[in-house]
């Protein structure tokens, strides 16, 4: 019995913005312009937060921490959605 290509389609490779790390858990640096835009925007907003919130006061420091946690959660969500699925990797042994 001959199997046709329709029965065994080739896996579709998604256009990931963030590839999985080769060692450990998580994502590496972006591989296309969309990923770089998200990363630069995240870093720019984290830096801008230093100037937006007066870190000399206790209330300003708390506001900055909340701001940074929210931005980081958003950045991780984008990585999760647009990045390669992650798992613990041991380099070439996981190929």
Could you tell me if residue 53 is inside a domain? yes
pTM listed for this prediction = 0.76
Could you tell me if residue 33 is inside a domain? yes
Give yes or no for residue 5 having a pLDDT over 60.
no
Could you tell me if residue 16 is inside a domain? no
> Total structural domains in the chain?
1
Could you tell me if residue 55 is inside a domain? yes
Q: How far is CA 57 from the centre of its chain?
A: 32
Long-range contacts of 4-12 (CB under 8 A, 24+ apart): none
For residue 81, what are its two tokens? 């959605």
pLDDT digits (tens, 9 = 90+) for 34-68: 999 999 999 999 999 999 998 888 888 999 999 99
Per-residue pLDDT, 95: 55
Region of residue 9 (left: phi > 0; alpha: psi -120 to 50; beta: else): beta
Residue range of the domain that includes 56:
23-88
Asked whether the beta carbons of 64 and 48 are under 8 A apart, the reply is no
Segment 86-94 shows an average pLDDT of: 75
Per-residue pLDDT, 2: 52
């Amino acid at each position: 019995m001959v199997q046709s290509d329709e029965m065994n389609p080739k896996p579709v490779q998604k256009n990931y913005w963030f590839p999985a790390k080769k060692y450990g858990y998580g994502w590496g640096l972006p591989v296309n312009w969309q990923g770089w835009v998200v990363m630069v925007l995240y870093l720019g907003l984290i830096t801008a937060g230093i100037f937006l919130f007066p870190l000399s006061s206790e209330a300003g420091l708390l506001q900055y921490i909340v701001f940074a946690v929210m931005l980081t959660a958003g950045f991780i969500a984008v990585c999760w959605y647009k990045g390669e699925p992650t798992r613990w990797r041991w380099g070439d042994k996981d190929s």
